[in-house]
Amino acid sequence: MSEPRERERFEPAGAAEELDAADDLAGAAGKLDAADDLAGAAGKLDAADELAALRERFVLDDVVYLDGNSLGALPAGVPARVEDVVRRQWGELRIRSWEESGWWTAPERIGDRIAPLVGAAAGQIVVGDSTSVNVFKALVAAVRMADVGRDEILVDATTFPTDGYIAESAARMTGRTLRPVTPAEVPSALGDRTAAVLLNHVDYRTGRLHDLPALTAAVHAAGAYVVWDLCHSAGALPVGLDEHGVDLAVGCTYKYLNGGPGSPAYLYVRRDLQDRFDSPLPGWNSHAEPFGMRSAYAPASGAVRGRVGTPDILSLLALEAALEVWDGVSVDAVRAKSLALTDFFLRCVGEYVPDGLVESVTPAAHAERGSQVALRCDDAGDVMKRLIERGVVGDFRAPDILRFGFTPLYVGFADVERAARVLAETLG
């Protein structure tokens, strides 16, 4: 193991110990000092971690898995549930399962399971379709709700590409002008022409957490509507959709919510906007009388308006089983551990990795950090391949970013120390 060095640029600003923000681990953190070797420190922190037992709810191995911000690990209860859905609900009950197994109501029922994780009351989230489709529905609906004369859409210039593609298409379809701006530029860019604003809560490359309350308030003060993409925040930190008056939000379920590859996304429509939500994709599932087979469309009431076509039952019910790992888990406790993990990782990298080989592009301030750390590094693609070969799985984002996601439900401090140590050894 490399010899620990003095703390350097990687220590989070204002943190004398790596866990100051984590209430449940603060006692253990306070006992750590410069004399602690990092492996020993990790052991102390794992012993004090009240969420450590949650790791048993997942199917894991000896790999240090730091890519849950792309695809969450498999919850242990999912395989048996999927087998039941396939063999009994589909295999034996067949068409009866739409009613007897609750298939028809699954999109709203599972939406209500997600709601507490993003700070929403029941009846405002529907699950189905992909994130891209839900971004399209939400953004076009926001524009349609805007006052006459508001002919501009603002989009996060640093957004995940698909959000930008969808925003451009939505602007063309609605006859609006699309204006890319960074989240920091949004307040000054808003005006009486602004119809809607599409923003990411956490930057997918850098892990920067944007100020949802302040930006939402600024958009509302300008008389516009805001759509938030929660893909990299839901399940990792408190969101507060209801508390902060967010209009519309979307998110995927295969990252921190562990729903599985391609698991359906969700759409949030604030309760008082639901009767004005005019979906650009009015399908038979969102009709007021879906089995009336009427030629004229009449939207259903409530969050059901966000549905389109027949639900993807196999993926939906796998997701429902996956969400059971959240039973009894506090999102605030998850956030505290997330900050503790990322602080400790930054400390380990600072002590293990020689100067100049990596540079953190993730904000040091807790209020500006999601649940990942992004390191700029030469030959990052090759470095990540070598890390994976050695049992540390993160991911690479072109051209030079090593990205490590920290899922507090199953990542521990020993994982963090090992990842940083292997990174140092890999870089030579």
Active-site residue set: 160, 229, 254-255, 403
Q: Write the DSSP string, 165-233.
A: HHHHHHHHHHT-EEEEE-GGGHHHH--TTEEEEEEESB-TTT-BBP-HHHHHHHHHHTT-EEEEE-TTT
Instruction: Pull the structure tokens for residue 401.
Output: 């970013």
Measured CA distances, 331 to 7, 118, 203, 408 (Å)? 30, 9, 20, 10
Q: CB pairs under 8 A, 24+ apart, for 78-82?
A: 78/260, 78/318, 78/321, 78/322, 81/317, 81/318, 81/320, 81/321, 82/314, 82/317, 82/318, 82/321
Are 154 and 161 spatial neighbours (Cβ–Cβ below 8 Å)? no
> How far apart, in whole angstroms, are the C-alpha atoms of residue 187 and residue 301?
33
> How far apart, in whole angstroms, are the C-alpha atoms of residue 67 and residue 45?
21
Any idea what DSSP says for residue 20?
T
The residue type found at 193 is: R
| Closest C-alpha to 143, from 174, 167, 172 | 174
C-alpha neighbours within 13 Å on the C-beta side of residue 227: 33
> How far apart, in whole angstroms, are the C-alpha atoms of residue 381 and residue 369?
23
Alpha helices in 222-324 (DSSP H): 313-322
Do the bridges between strand 74-75 and strand 177-181 make them parallel or antiparallel, or are there none, so unpaired? unpaired
Q: Any residues with CB less than 8 A from the CB of 192 and at least 6 apart, and which?
A: 149, 150, 222, 223
Instruction: Pull the structure tokens for residue 55.
Output: 């790791």
Angle 268-208-183 (CA atoms, 0-180°, nearest 5)?
Answer: 65
The residue type found at 59 is: V
